[in-house]
Amino acid sequence: MHLSRTITGLTGGGSDGWDLFLKARRMRTEGVAVIELTIGEHDIPTAPAILDAMHRAAVGGHTGYASVPGTPALRQTVARRVAERTGVPTTAANVIITPGGQAGLFAAHAATCDAGDRALYIDPYYATYPGTIRAVGAVPVAVPTRSRDAFQPDPAQIAARAGGARSLLINSPNNPTGVVYSRKVLEGIAGACIDHDLWLISDEVYDTQVWEGAHVSPRALDGMAERTLVVGSMSKSHAMTGSRCGWIVGPEAAIAHLIGLATHTTYGVPGYIQDAAVFALNQGAELEHDIAAPFRRRRQIALGVLQGQNVVRAIPAGGAMYVMLDIRATGLSGEDFADRLLDSHHIAVMPGESFGQAAAGHVRVAMTVDDAALKTALTRLVAFAQEIAP
């Protein structure tokens, strides 16, 4: 018996870059004290008040089938939040609730791409992006960026690859680089999408984690509301990664068809989780600020450790819970550096190559351990880099 080419080809024949992460987890299982700076998982649990709201909703009976597009309360709450933050008129009809941002990314590509269509994405990229595109039968096409340009996309590179493409996927603030795309760059991206009739899929799950500059949603740019699908999530903004509650915001016609897709796939998100999301969003910016604050603080700790040496260079990180480090001065690839760092110092970071070829010779550090552990790990990382540099 044969499995489908779609399912067997999701990762393009590789591991999607998870080998080092899995190795670190095996070492921890064996009793090795590894400092994990690998995945974007908060080091705090979901706030007790949010869990209390979830519990009340579940005990109150909201455990049956929920409305497939999302509960009216959550769709309206998301719409109001988006309208207030972007200035773009948004109603519940522009919103569908999804089982997390990842399901939103899949649905957005299903809505915009037919089998065999080219779908563009920016390199470096979050590890699931190419596989998500392959899952809908489309052909992933990377648009490279450069370390010396702080990994800001070049609209000319997008235009050069736009022939036959139907969509472009971007992510700002960016995982893995921490870069926040500038308004000028986003206006150039918008121009390329209009000129080449591309859908823009904008992954904005880190929109509450901005340390420098400002987050600009491209849906707010001229001519873009009718061709942009914005993916959002409760995971990063409210430390609700395991609750799997996200959304897509877009044109009403696209959302109507996405409701049909949800009816035939996920059949919605549990009602008690949606009720908790409403409660969390209604706590306003103060709660979001509190959840983001550790990463703002740790970014400064990281920059402090990296001062006064020239072997490890930090990419200017304006947002998100990561710093990307250029370690090419060591003469090692990101994969070799990360592997040797794990073996010799029991510190786990993700190789840049896990996120595409544009980040080769870099490593990504997730600032998801307490301040002291992060400072210790980065101090050892820098000392290791200095020790092995030619």
Q: Are residues 309 and 254 in the same domain?
A: no
Are 257 and 299 contained in the same domain? no
pTM beyond 0.85: yes
Q: Do 53 and 201 lie in a common domain?
A: yes
CB 123 within 8 A of CB 356: yes
Size (the chain), residues = 390
165 forms beta bridges with 118
CA distance 289 to 180: 17
Both 325 and 195 in a single domain? no
| pLDDT tens per residue across span 210-231 | 999 899 999 999 999 999 999 9
Burial 28-51 (b: 16+ CB within 10 A, else e): eeeeeebbbbbbbebbeebbeebe
Q: What is the CATH number of the domain that holds 374?
A: 3.90.1150.10
> Does one domain contain both 274 and 292?
no
Amino acid in position 132: T
Going by DSSP bridges, is the β-strand pair 165-171/118-123 parallel, antiparallel, or unpaired?
parallel
210 lies in the same domain as 232:
yes
Edge-first strand order for the sheet with 322-326 is 35-37, 347-351, 362-366, 322-326, 313-314
pLDDT, mean over the chain: 96
**Count: domains in the chain:** 2
Instruction: Answer yes or no: do 186 and 320 share one domain.
Output: no
Q: Alpha-carbon distance 139 to 87, whole Å?
A: 34
Distance CA 188, CA 177 (A): 20
In sequence order, the β-bridge partners of residue 169 are: 121, 201
- Domain with residue 261: its CATH number is 3.40.640.10
> Are residues 356 and 222 located together in one domain of the fold?
no
How many CB atoms lie under 10 A from the CB of residue 349?
A: 28
Copy the structure tokens of residue 323.
Answer: 């710093």
Q: Would you give per-residue pLDDT tens digits along the chain (390 residues)?
A: 999 989 999 888 666 567 889 999 999 999 999 999 999 999 999 999 999 999 999 999 999 999 999 999 999 999 999 999 999 999 999 999 999 999 999 999 999 999 999 999 999 999 999 999 999 999 999 999 999 999 999 999 999 999 999 999 999 999 999 999 999 999 999 999 999 999 999 999 999 999 998 999 999 999 999 999 999 999 999 999 999 999 999 999 999 999 999 999 999 999 999 999 999 999 999 999 999 999 999 999 999 999 999 999 999 989 999 999 999 999 999 999 999 999 999 999 999 999 999 999 999 999 999 999 999 999 999 999 999 998
Same domain as 199, residue 111: yes
Q: Coil, strand or helix: which one is 348?
A: strand
Q: Which domain holds residue 361?
A: 5-45+286-388
186 near 218, Cβ under 8 Å? yes
Closest CA to 290 of 36, 48, 35: 48
What does the pLDDT read at residue 18? 78
The amino acid at residue 145 is T
Last residue of a domain, one of 283, 318, 346: 283
Pair (112, 207) in one structural domain? yes
Identity of the amino acid at 268 = G
Pairing of strands 35-37, 347-351: parallel
Verify that 312 and 373 share a domain, yes or no: yes
Same domain, 101 and 130: yes
* Cα radius of gyration (the chain): 21
Domain endpoint, select from 283, 313, 339: 283
Task: Select from 283, 298, 314 the last residue of a domain.
Answer: 283
Q: What is the largest CA-CA distance in the chain?
A: 64
Verify cis geometry, omega within 30 degrees of 0, for the bond prior to 173: yes
